Amino acid sequence: MNENRMYHLPALLHESIEGLSINPAGIYADLTFGGGGHSHVILDKLNNDGRLIAFDQDEDSLQNAFDDERFTLVNENFRYLKNFLRLHKALPLDGILADLGISSHQIDTPERGFATRFEGPLDMRMARSQVQHVLKDHSICVWHVIRVLQPRKWLTLILKKN
């Protein structure tokens, strides 16, 4: 199992796992896999019948996937949770964990453009490959929003999407 402490230090690790009251033979979903800190502890509490299905839309998180047959990592936005749980026959779930936000890895990687302390492109996309097909032809990053799209056009786009 790959314990990647440099990627992200999980917040409220033991409190959140305790809150899940894990059934060792249950099926769990970690919606924000990141460095796998929470997933690692969940897997440790499962027996051979248990399963963990994890999501992360950032392809960088794939480097942290566990080689464990009880574990599945889906490189997608968790908005598609229901579809993927059906696909992987992971319903019904016994518990869901979501550690929302960005990871230390995303903040600390200059070319991701999340931190102002680095010189780098103003990007801020979490899913660098997937955003393109959400918004068709535009490779949307913060730079494009500010420099290329007019604010009014952008607002119209957001309102249409919601």
Ligand X SMILES: C[S@@+](CC[C@H](N)C(=O)[O-])C[C@H]1O[C@@H](n2cnc3c(N)ncnc32)[C@H](O)[C@@H]1O
- Please name which of 45, 50, 4 lies closest in space to residue 33, comparing C-alpha atoms: 4
Give the integer Cα–Cα distance in Å for 61 and 75: 8
Q: Kindly identify the residues of this chain, within the stretch 135-154, that bind ligand X according to CB under 6 A.
A: none
Q: How far apart are CA 74 and CA 76, in angstroms?
A: 6
Binding flag, residue 57, ligand X (CB under 6 A): yes
Q: How far is the CB of 110 from ligand X (least distance, A)?
A: 17
Q: How many CB atoms within 10 Å of residue 91?
A: 11
Binding mask 100-119 for ligand X (x = CB under 6 A): -xxx----------------
Residue type present at position 88: H
Q: What are phi and psi of 95, to 5 degrees?
A: -175, 155
Name the minimum Å distance from CB 50 to ligand X. Answer: 18
Q: Give yes or no for residue 37 binding ligand X (CB under 6 A).
A: yes
Applying CB under 6 A, among 22, 52, 53, 55 the residue interacting with ligand X is 55
Footprint of ligand X (CB under 6 A): 8, 10, 32, 34-38, 55-58, 61, 77-78, 99, 101-103, 126
